[in-house]
Chains A and B, each alone.
Chain A
C-alpha cells in the first residue's frame, strides 16, 4: 500500500482565482492511499519545495502528486525535490490544473470539480508507479552545425573556442550564406564582407573546425550525445586538396551562360566557378548541368589549363560517416517567390527587383561593380520607389502571415545609401507601418527621413506598370487621402523571407517539429528559445524565425553555449520511461519496428522451453538508450507485448477509469 502526499499549488491567482484550492485539498485528502494533502501559494518556490521535502519525511511518503502547472514547466523541478528527500524521482505525478483547467475555465465550480478529477486521476496513476532508474550513456565530444551562414559560422567558432571539435555541413560550395550577399549591414553600415570574411577565414583556419561544403546531411541516427550522421559530399569535379583558387579554369571555360546565383541571377558565370572572391574554401566547382565536358564528353579545356591537375571529371558523390554529441540547425532563409504578386510587375519588368537583388547591384563585387545601374539598360535610375511588406503580413494565401522583421531596416538602409551616394536621386518608400524596435534602429530610420530626405509614403501600392519606359507606381497616400502615381526608374520590392526549403528535409531527419510557415519550433518560446523538443538538437538563425544579423549572432552564440554545456558532460542520464517488450507475448510481427521513429527496436531469435520442447521464436528487443518513449510501438503492438515504463497501459487505463468515474 502506497503512502501518497498531494500538494496543490495556487500559482498566485493563476490557479486559485478560478479553482477553489481548499475544496480540492479536502476532496483529494479522501482519495485512497492519500495520507497527506495541503495547498500553498507557490509550490515551485523554495518554501514550497521545502514543504514537500518536509512532508515526504514526516509522513514517510512513497509518492507525491503535485497539482500545478503543465509538467513541461516544473515536472523536472518536483522530481529533483522528491529525489532530494530520498524519494525515487519517478514516484512524482503532476496534475495539470493550470493550462488544462484554471486558464481555460471561467466558472469556479466547474473548474474546481475538474481540478479534483485531474488530481484523483494522477493519484490513481501513481498507485501503479514503480521506482525507475535512468541509464547513462557517454557523449561524443563533437558537434555538427548544419548550415554555414553567419549563424552556423558564429556557432561553430564559439564551440571550437571552448575546445570542442565541430563540423559545418553547407550545401553550397562556400560558407558565408546570405550575409555574404549583403553590401552593408544596419544599423552601423559596416561593409558586410569586411565583418564576415574574417570569421569565414577563422573557420577555415581553426584546427577544431572541419568544413563539409557542397555537402548535405543524408541520414541521422542515434540520440543526444551519440548521433551518427551520414554526410553526402556532392561531386565538385575539382580536387579540393589541389585547387589553389587561381581562377584560370574560370577564365578559359567556354560555357559562360550559367546564372550566377550569388548575384541573384543578375549576371552569368562560367560552368566552372568560385562563387565569389572571398569564398571559403577558395576552390572551384563545376556545375554538371552546364559543363560541356560532363554533358557531351567534349571540351576538357579547364583540365588542360589547370596548373595543378585539380580537375577530375570522374569524381563521384562521396559519403562520410561521422559521430556527434550535439547538432545545431542553422539552415537560413530565402526571399519568397513572387509569382503571386504580379501586381508589382516583377515578372514583366527587369527594373522591378527584390531588395536582395539591390544588395548585389550596390555591391562592389556585384554585376555592376557597385555602381547603381538599372538592369534593363544600365542607366542610373533617377527615381527609385521602394515597396515594403511585399508578401509579408499577408493572410490572403498569396504571401506569409508573419512580419519578416528585417525589411523596414534594410529598406531604410538602402534608401539612405542611395541618397548618400547619388544625392540627385529621388527616393520614395511606400510603407504600412515602420517597425524598428532595436538599439539605435528607430534613430537609423529617422536619419533616412530627416537627414537624407527619403520620402516615406504611408500607403500601399496597388499596381506597377510600364508606360513609355517609366515604371508607374500607383498607390495610396493615406495621410492626404489621395491616389498617387510615381513615375519611377527602378522599383525595389521588400520581399518577405521564408525558411530555406531544405529545412523540411532536415526537420524530418532530426524529428524537429515545424510550424505552418516552415519555421522550426523551439522547445519553449520564452525559456528554451534555442533548444528543440528533440534532445541534443539546437536552433540558430532564421530557420527558427525571422531575425536580423545581430539577433542571429546572439542566438548562434546561445546555441553554442548549450552545445558546450552538453559536450562538457562525460555521461548523460537517459530517460527511464522507455518501451520494453514482453518476450512471452511478442509474436515477432515487426509492426513496432516499422513505426519506431528512432530505430530503437531490433529483433533476435530466442529459445523458449528446454530439451525436446524447445522452440526458437523471433522477438522484439528495445534499445533503451535509443528509445525516446514516444509510445508509438505500444499502441501498434497487436499482441499487447509492448509497454512503456512510467506510462504503462494499465496506468493509462486506470487514469481513464478515474476521469470517467462519477
Chain B
C-alpha cells in the first residue's frame, strides 16, 4: 500500500538515517512511503498564539495535498508530527484559524481538517501490526532498551491522541516486536531541553542527563527516540547509546547492516 509521506527538513540532512531506515523497513513490510512533492518546512514548533496564521500554512499545504491523495499523511519526525497534527486540529476545530487560512490559500475546495495524520509508529501498530513485524524480524535485537518518548509525540494528549501521556506503551510494544526487552523508566516522557539548547545549554544539559541517568538506572543498553532534536540533545550530553527507532527496525528486519 502507498501512503503520502512528509519527511521534514532534518530528515533530509542531519537525521537522514532516521528517514532512510524508515523507508527501507516500510518497503519490507509492504508499505510504500510516497514523499509528497514540494513540501515545506513545518517550522519545527507549533505556534500556539491564536493569530499565528502564516506559520501554519506549510502544514496545511501538505495536509491538503494528502487529502486529495489517499486522505492520510504519514510523518516520522516527532516535531513535524506534533506541528502538523496540531495545525490539523486547528483546521478542524478553530473557526477563526480555519477561515483565515482558507481565505488566504484560496484552494479549490476549503480545507477543514479532513486528512488523517499518522505517525510512523502508528502505521507500524495499526496498519502493519506489531505481530506481523515480529514475524518479519530476521535479527532480533536482544538488548535491554529504554524507549524515550519526550514531549512531542504525547502532548497535548487531547490533540495528539497518541498514547496514555503518563504511561505510554507503543514504543515498548515496538521494542518487544523487534525482539528487544523494553525497560520502563520514569523520565521517558520528560522534556530533553528542546530548542532551549541553543540559548541555555546548562538547562538542556541538566534535563538530558537526568533522562539518561533514569534510563541507565533500569539497565537500558540503548535509548530509542523518534526525534532528531532529542537525539541531538541526548547525544551532546553523554547519550552515546541513543539511536533512532527506525535504525533498530531496519537492522531487525535485515534491510540494513
Contact = CB atoms under 8 A, between A and B. Distances in A.
B186 A345 contact: yes
Contacts of B214: 465, 467
Contacts of B167: 339, 342, 347-348
B231 interface: no
A422 interface: no
Contacts of A463: 186
Interface in A344-390: 345, 347-348
Contacts of B184: 348
A66 to B, nearest CB: 47
A341 B157 CA distance: 13
Given A465-B186, A467-B217, A343 B158 contact: no
Interface string A31-59: 00000000000000000000000000000
A397 interface: yes
Interface in A429-475: 463, 465-468
A346 to B, nearest CB: 9
A364 B194 CA distance: 51
A396 to B, nearest CB: 8
Given A397-B158, A467-B217, A468-B217, A342 B166 contact: yes
A348 B186 CA distance: 9
Nearest to B158: A397
B164 A342 contact: yes
Interface in A315-350: 339-343, 345, 347-348
Contacts of A345: 186
Contact of B166 (A343, A397, A466, A468): A343
A341 B186 contact: no
Nearest to B168: A342
Contacts of B186: 345, 348, 463, 465-467
A345 B184 CA distance: 12
A179 B122 CA distance: 46
B244 interface: no
Contacts of A465: 186-187, 214
A463 B166 CA distance: 9
Contacts of B187: 465
Interface centre among A341, A342, A345 (most CB of B within 10 A): A342
Nearest to B166: A342
A341 B217 contact: no
B166 A341 contact: yes
A341 B167 CA distance: 9
A235 to B, nearest CB: 38
A347 B186 CA distance: 12
Nearest to B167: A342
Interface string B170-207: 00000000000000101100000000000000000000
Nearest to A397: B158
A342 B164 CA distance: 9
A341 B166 CA distance: 7
Contact of B164 (A339, A466, A467): A339
A463 B167 CA distance: 12
A357 B119 CA distance: 40
A39 B184 CA distance: 75
Interface string B210-249: 0000100100000000000000000000000000000000
Interface centre among B164, B166, B187, B214 (most CB of A within 10 A): B166
A188 B167 CA distance: 40
Interface centre among B164, B167, B217 (most CB of A within 10 A): B167
Interface in A520-538: none
B242 to A, nearest CB: 20
Contacts of A341: 166
Contacts of A340: 164
B195 to A, nearest CB: 22
A465 B184 CA distance: 11
A524 B214 CA distance: 55
A343 B189 CA distance: 10
A342 B167 CA distance: 6
A347 B172 CA distance: 16
A342 B214 CA distance: 17
A343 B186 CA distance: 9
A463 B186 CA distance: 9
Interface in A539-594: none
Nearest to A343: B166
A342 B217 CA distance: 20
A343 B165 CA distance: 9
A329 to B, nearest CB: 34
Contacts of B217: 467-468
Nearest to A466: B186
B167 to A, nearest CB: 4
Nearest to A463: B186
Contacts of A339: 164, 167
A341 B165 CA distance: 9
A127 to B, nearest CB: 50
B166 to A, nearest CB: 4
Nearest to A471: B186
A467 B214 CA distance: 8
A347 B169 CA distance: 13
A343 B164 CA distance: 11
Interface string A85-96: 000000000000
Interface in B121-150: none
A339 B157 CA distance: 14
B152 to A, nearest CB: 18
B23 to A, nearest CB: 34
A397 B186 CA distance: 23
Contacts of B164: 339-340, 342
B169 to A, nearest CB: 11
B88 to A, nearest CB: 20
Contacts of A467: 186, 214, 217
B185 to A, nearest CB: 9
Nearest to A347: B167
Contacts of B166: 341-343
Interface in A458-500: 463, 465-468
B122 to A, nearest CB: 20
Nearest to A464: B186
Query: Nearest 4 pairs between A and B by C-beta?
Result: A465-B186, A342-B166, A342-B167, A343-B166
23 contacts: A339-B164, A339-B167, A340-B164, A341-B166, A342-B164, A342-B166, A342-B167, A343-B166, A345-B186, A347-B167, A348-B167, A348-B184, A348-B186, A397-B158, A463-B186, A465-B186, A465-B187, A465-B214, A466-B186, A467-B186, A467-B214, A467-B217, A468-B217
Given A397-B158, A465-B186, 16 more contacts: A339-B164, A341-B166, A342-B166, A343-B166, A345-B186, A347-B167, A348-B167, A348-B184, A463-B186, A465-B187, A465-B214, A466-B186, A467-B186, A467-B214, A467-B217, A468-B217
